Amino acid sequence: MTKIVYFDVDADENAYLEKQNNGKYDYYLTDKSLNSLESVPEEYKDARIISCFTTSRVGKDVLKQFTKLELIALRSVGFNHIDLDYCNERGIVVENTPNYGNKSVAEFAFGLMIDVCRKITLSYNDYKTMEINVQNLIGTELGGKTAGVVGLGAIGKEFARLAYGFDMKILGFDISENQKLKELYKVEYVDFDTLLSNSDFISLHAPLTIQNRHMFNKEAFKKMKKSAIIINTARGEHIETQALYNALMNKEIAGAGLDVLESEETISDTDYLTDINRLNVHTLKQTVLNTRLQKLDNVIITPHIAYNTKEAIQRILETTMSNINNFVEGVVDNNVN
């Protein structure tokens, strides 16, 4: 019987995974994450398949402990937490769960945009402390403004639909153009500099690549409107944190809504508290900058939860089990390596 170990399992996932695996697989469910600090338990090491979320850090030191591993079934779209080079060397297939959170992430990004431009969280905090200055809470309407969408794939398309419903003009930047989006939502595809200089709001929905890492840097922020707000629910590394902090402090842009950060794991991952020596100069600098960003009134930061809806989680589980079942039958779906 095929052995499967599911890591990073939340309480809400247990019942579904038990139902789908009972009597079919030799399986283990654990809320523990994979990381380089702890050895893989002996009873897990001969697993043919493992499944994990982005909270696991699956590097070479972790992977080499699995002696019979053939498949990593990710319960996420992103896979930058997996050592793909090692997997390719060893013939380990890595599959993800695409398209599970298109609406969830787009809606959350739109919510962040509204929150920042209407100063909802700021006003809520002011109200709690009873220190209210209405002049500091003047917001901006969305209707008639220009939304720049970086990456018009499944999530970016949903964001464009929402923006169109709010009577916004939509500029798009992507490696290819989608004719249907032009027709449905009047998306105007432009180059990156044009999007920067003409957008009132910019929302990031592109996958992270070597080419677009730090695409929002010092030079990019200087090209944006001083009234512009940037929203990032994609990957933290799209934005150079130091440049963002400086742009906000120097009032080169008006605000930011961030569900992802560079080196966000140093804040959310308890491994960094267990072994503080894991912090190198780069991650330490990013951690300081991230905590400084949190203190700015024109910035909203959330803990990478844009995907986190009941509907999206159910789709994750269904796709994960489909990937696993098909793999056992000899069919590879949603392969990323």
- Active site positions, annotated: 235, 264, 304
Q: 73, exposed or middle or buried, with CB in 10 Å at 0-12, 13-18, 19+?
A: buried
- Alpha-carbon distance of 56 to 264, in angstroms, equals 13
Dihedral class, residue 239 (left if φ above 0, else alpha if ψ from -120 to 50, else beta): beta
Tokens matching residue 244: 């963002």
Identity of residue 173: F
- From CA 263, how far away is CA 290, in angstroms rounded? 9
Tell the residue number behind the tokens 């909802």, with chain if given.
120
Give the span between the Cα atoms of 116 and 300, in whole angstroms.
Answer: 7
| CA 312 to the chain's CA centroid | 14
Burial class (CB in 10 A: 0-12, 13-18, 19+), 208: middle
Rounded Cα gap, residues 18 and 29, in angstroms: 8
In the chain the first and final C-alpha atoms are separated, in Å, by: 26
Over the Cα atoms of the chain, what is R_g? 21
The burial class, CB within 10 Å (0-12 / 13-18 / 19+), for 91 is exposed
* Burial tier of 183 (Cβ tally within 10 Å: 0-12, 13-18, 19+): exposed
Give CA 329 to chain center in angstroms.
Answer: 31
41, 77, 113: which is closest to 336 by C-alpha?
Answer: 77
